[in-house]
């Protein structure tokens, strides 16, 4: 039994995917006929229900990939091929506090909120009000809004104070080089930071700025994806591939420099006058003994 408000993935006989929030009182209209959501709830995940025309729809529990691909967009979203690497590089996971600038349509925000769990937090900032509103709607639709704080603000004025000491930061803005100081101020020492940029000249500007910033350990890359036709007797790459969709740049906060105090010179040991620690007469006895042995050897030599 699927609970009201849960996200469900409905797949048509032709493989078309529909991501919907379950409402038992709703009837879903498709080209294959009417699908009663009450029947979907009763059937449960992994089952099949039919429309009033008899077309079978598969009911699945959506994955993170499904949620990202189902985002309603008015901007270009990040592709899963980049998002997966970003999550790993930022260390996204339960309990982590991650800041994002450039909410867009909320694709990456969805992934970050999914990974953060109920013990983590995502702080997403968007300068354009219409994008901020759309991102909020998409996150609410995915049932993850309780893990996200939304801010309609320009990060040139700084990040929200409640995000201070964040574990990681991701910037998807046009000129990230202008916000490195704000970024350094909001993350904890040693935190990772990521950037998404579409062109090489933007990367060049960012790399120059990073050289004199509080960040180091810089990495630049792009990720390409090529799918294959899943036909056993004709296995070959598909005619089209998802090639360049953006460059990724990563770095780490340098951390705090520990200034060691100047070393203190150890006090010199008291110098004892030569022979003062030797018992009286011992030195002379050793000398006499050595001369006696020597004299004995000489005498023996002479006698021989």
Q: Are residues 55 and 155 in the same domain?
A: no
Alpha helices in 117-246 (DSSP H): 129-141, 180-186, 200-211
Q: Which CATH number does the domain housing residue 198 bear?
A: 3.40.50.150
Q: Are residues 236 and 92 in the same domain?
A: yes
How many domains would you assign to the chain?
Answer: 2
Could you tell me the two tokens for 252? 């780490």
**Are 224 and 244 contacting, i.e. CB atoms less than 8 angstroms apart?**
yes
Q: Longest C-alpha distance within the chain, in Å?
A: 135
Q: Which CATH number does the domain housing residue 53 bear?
A: 3.10.330.20
Positive or negative torsion for Cα 163, 164, 168, 172: positive
Q: Which residues of the chain fall short of a pLDDT of 70?
A: 261, 263-264, 267-304
The DSSP letter of residue 156 is G
Question: Does residue 283 belong to any structural domain of this protein?
Answer: no
Q: Can you say how many angstroms the Cα of residue 46 is from the centroid of all Cα atoms in its chain?
A: 32
Question: Does residue 178 belong to any structural domain of this protein?
Answer: yes
CA proximity to 69, closest of 97, 106, 94: 106
pLDDT for residue 241: 87
d(CA 224, CA 240): 12
Question: Does residue 269 belong to any structural domain of this protein?
Answer: no
Q: Are residues 220 and 182 in the same domain?
A: yes
CA proximity to 249, closest of 225, 224, 216: 216
Q: Are residues 155 and 81 in the same domain?
A: yes
Given 253, 270, 292, which residue is the final one in a domain?
253
Given 62, 91, 107, which residue is the final one in a domain?
62
Question: Does residue 48 belong to any structural domain of this protein?
Answer: yes
Q: Are residues 25 and 139 in the same domain?
A: no
Q: List residues bridging with 48 in a β-sheet.
A: 58
Question: Does residue 267 belong to any structural domain of this protein?
Answer: no
CA proximity to 131, closest of 146, 116, 109, 163: 109
Q: Are residues 22 and 159 in the same domain?
A: no
Question: Which residue is it, tokens 């702080």?
Answer: 123
Could you tell me the two tokens for 7? 């996200």
pLDDT in tens, 80-108: 999 999 999 999 999 999 999 999 999 99
Q: Can you say how many angstroms the Cα of residue 117 is from the centroid of all Cα atoms in its chain?
A: 14
Domain hosting 35: range is 7-62
pLDDT for residue 255: 85
Question: Does residue 279 belong to any structural domain of this protein?
Answer: no
pLDDT for residue 256: 77
d(CA 21, CA 9): 9
pLDDT for residue 292: 43
Q: Are residues 99 and 158 in the same domain?
A: yes
Question: Which residue is it, tokens 């003062």?
Answer: 276
CA proximity to 136, closest of 74, 60, 65, 62: 74
Q: Are residues 107 and 192 in the same domain?
A: yes
pLDDT for residue 24: 93
Tell me how far CA of residue 159 lies from CA of 69, 102, 121, 239, in angstroms. Answer: 28, 12, 15, 44
Question: Does residue 230 belong to any structural domain of this protein?
Answer: yes
Question: Does residue 293 belong to any structural domain of this protein?
Answer: no
Q: Are residues 55 and 86 in the same domain?
A: no
d(CA 208, CA 177): 8
Q: Are residues 102 and 42 in the same domain?
A: no
Q: Are residues 26 and 46 in the same domain?
A: yes
Q: Are residues 92 and 43 in the same domain?
A: no
Given 210, 229, 253, which residue is the final one in a domain?
253
Spatial CB neighbours of 83, under 8 Å, sequence gap ≥ 6:
68, 107, 108, 111
């Amino acid at each position: 039994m699927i609970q009201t408000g849960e996200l469900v993935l409905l797949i048509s006989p032709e493989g078309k995917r529909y991501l919907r929030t379950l409402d038992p009182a709703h009837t879903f209209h498709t080209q294959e006929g009417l699908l009663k959501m009450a029947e979907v709830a009763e059937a449960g995940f992994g089952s099949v229900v039919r429309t009033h025309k008899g077309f079978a729809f598969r009911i699945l529990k959506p994955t993170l990939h499904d949620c990202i691909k189902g985002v309603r967009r008015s901007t270009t979203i990040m592709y899963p091929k980049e998002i997966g690497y970003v999550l790993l590089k930022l260390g996204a996971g339960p309990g982590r506090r991650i800041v994002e600038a450039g909410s867009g349509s909320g694709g990456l925000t969805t992934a970050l909120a999914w990974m953060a769990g109920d013990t983590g937090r995502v702080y997403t900032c968007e300068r354009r009000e219409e994008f901020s509103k759309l991102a909020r709607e998409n996150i609410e639709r995915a049932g993850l809004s309780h893990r996200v704080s939304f801010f309609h603000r320009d990060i040139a004025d700084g990040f929200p104070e409640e995000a201070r000491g964040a574990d990681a930061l991701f910037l998807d803005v046009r000129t990230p080089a202008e916000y490195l100081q704000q970024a350094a101020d909001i993350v904890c020492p040693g935190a990772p930071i990521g950037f998404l940029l579409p062109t090489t000249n933007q990367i060049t500007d960012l790399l120059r700025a990073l050289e004199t910033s509080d960040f180091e350990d810089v990495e630049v890359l792009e990720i390409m994806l090529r799918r294959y036709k899943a036909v056993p007797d004709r296995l070959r790459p598909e005619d089209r591939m998802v090639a360049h969709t953006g460059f990724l740049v990563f770095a780490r906060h340098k951390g705090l420099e520990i200034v060691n105090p100047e070393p203190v010179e150890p006090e010199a040991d008291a110098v004892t006058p030569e022979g003062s620690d030797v018992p009286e007469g011992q030195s002379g006895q050793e000398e006499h003994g050595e001369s006696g042995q020597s004299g004995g050897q000489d005498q023996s030599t002479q006698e021989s």
